Amino acid sequence: MNYRGHLWGGFFAGAVSFFLGFCTQSFYFDFLFLKKIFESPDNFFAYQKGFLVFFTAWASSIFPDLDTSSLPQRWFFRILLLALICFLLLKKIEIFIFLSLLMFVFVIDKHRGWTHWKGTPWILVLIFVVFYDIFKNKSFSVERIFLLLKENWIFVFAVIFGHYFHLILDSRFLRRFSFLFKKLYR
Ligand SMILES: [Zn+2]
């Protein structure tokens, strides 16, 4: 599937994750949010977790195709380049090095290489929580990581579901029906 198909797929994955989080009361949400945020922008923070769940699933659904030349890839690298320049000017060298390394991971493999593995989202979640724990507590504890994963299960779901939904859209089975939505496959 092309990037346009995955952008829409990302919205679907985001909506499913958001709906699940809403039904399980993983975050606060009500349908007056636009009115409330408009009244006072500070109200945004009451809703931010819900938005973040949606965005996480959407981004996970786009992420695998950052390994190939496309509109999202170009924007991703443009924003990353800007961020690199900012961090260099601010002399935040650790973040600068981290982002520089990140730029390489998308080009070390062929298209539909490691970014399209079924294990990738699990590994990414694990790397993220381990780094988060070390960064926040300056040490690393397995119990804390389990707790972190348990408390934020909706984000774990959003990452895994977003990524797997990308793989489903790329699958050979769905490609058989590509004649039905040609614009999303070409
Ligand atoms: Zn793909």
Query: Would you list the DSSP string of 42-81?
Result: GGHHHHHHHHHHHHHHHHHHHGGGGGSSSHHHHHHHHHHH
Measured in degrees and rounded to the nearest 5, phi and psi for residue 6 equal -75, -30
**Hunting for tokens 């490691």 — which residue is that?**
114
Q: Which residues surround ligand 1, an ion (CB under 5 A)?
A: 64-65, 170
31 and 44 fall within a common domain:
yes
176 and 116 fall within a common domain:
yes
Instruction: Give 168 Cα–ligand 1 centroid separation in angstroms.
Output: 9
What SS3 state is found at 147? helix
Asked if the model's pLDDT at residue 183 lies above 70, the reply is no
Residue 45 in tokens: 């923070």
54 and 120 fall within a common domain:
yes
61 and 21 fall within a common domain:
yes
pTM for this entry: 0.84
Instruction: Give 163 Cα–ligand 1 centroid separation in angstroms.
Output: 9
74-88, 125-139, 169-183: the lowest-pLDDT one: 169-183
CB-based contact 24:18 (threshold 8 Å)? no
135 and 169 fall within a common domain:
yes
Asked if the model's pLDDT at residue 132 lies above 90, the reply is no
Domain range for 95: 75-109
Residue 138 in tokens: 């300056």
Instruction: Give 9 Cα–ligand 1 centroid separation in angstroms.
Output: 11
85 and 171 fall within a common domain:
no
61 and 101 fall within a common domain:
no
38 and 83 fall within a common domain:
no
Residue type, 128: F
Share of the chain above pLDDT 70, in %: 96
Asked if the model's pLDDT at residue 162 lies above 90, the reply is yes
Residue 159 vs residues 34, 41, 56, 86, 87: alpha-carbon distances, Å: 26, 28, 6, 28, 27
Residue 36 vs residues 2, 48, 60, 75, 121: alpha-carbon distances, Å: 37, 13, 29, 32, 35
Instruction: Give 121 Cα–ligand 1 centroid separation in angstroms.
Output: 14
Overall average pLDDT of the 92-102 stretch: 84
pLDDT band at 111 (very low <50, low <70, confident <90, very high): confident
Name, in order, each residue with C-beta under 8 angstroms of 112's C-beta and a sequence gap of 6 or more. Answer: 64, 67, 170
Instruction: Give 1 Cα–ligand 1 centroid separation in angstroms.
Output: 7
